[in-house]
Amino acid sequence: MNSPILLALDTGSPQVSVALRRGDQPLAERLHEGRHASEALLTMIDEVLQEAAVERRELGGILALQGPGSFTGLRIGLATALALSQALRIPTTALPTLRVLASTARAEAGATVVAAVDALRGEWFLQPFIDGTATAEARRQPLASVATLAPRYLVGLGLGGVSEALHPLNLKVSEPSCLAAAALKLASRDPPREPWDSTLLSAPLYLRAPNIRLPKKR
């Protein structure tokens, strides 16, 4: 029996990405960086399907990254995954972005990996993992505080801009290029831990309040 063809979407990261995979075989992926990258999402989906010569009706499931990340970007990706799954009548789910990031580190068994997502204003969402399992809740804090988590590896997006601050910590730092592809790889190698749950598409992991204030009552 052939493995199902899975589509993954990441629209909450600085680089919007789309990837297609069947079992252990990557089929196609696209990256788009820029302010309006998430607006190109449907075009990117069509491009990976065309490259792999796959029809939408052949898809067996859709994964979307759940956050943290861009508020607007996350909503676009999760809503798109839900709409496609309903139209095609296929299963869908969402994966936490920090867990997907941690899965990309080439770490030895038992080593602590910290996944990092830029929370802006000099803060980062940080979460430690050992062998793919989170050992603490994600917290928003200055990147320098990563030292308190005693990691050997640090993986995230946009870390190049803060490399000088990280240098004294003697960490192995990495930045994956396509989180959509990483999400598919994670799901393909560990399927029992990734049950299909469409309700997760309605629960983005913002991990902070939006940067708006309601008008005061007069």
Tell how strand 123-130 and strand 133-134 pair up.
antiparallel
CA 214 to chain centre: 30
- For each of the domains in the chain, give its residue range(s) and CATH number, in order of start: 5-96+177-202 (3.30.420.40), 105-174 (3.30.420.40)
pLDDT at 37: 65
Whole-prediction pTM: 0.91
CA 40 to chain centre: 17
The phi, psi pair for 77, rounded to 5°, reads -65, -45
Tell me the H-state helices in the chain: 41-51, 71-88, 97-103, 163-166, 179-189
pLDDT at 1: 58
pLDDT at 54: 97
pLDDT at 150: 87
Instruction: Spell out, as residue ranges, where the chain has pLDDT lower than 50.
Output: 192, 212, 214
CA-to-CA dists, residue 157 to 7, 15, 134, 161, 162, angstroms: 22, 9, 19, 10, 11
Among 53, 67, 43, residue whose Cα is nearest residue 22 = 53
**pLDDT tens-digit readout, 108-133:** 999 999 999 999 888 999 999 999 99
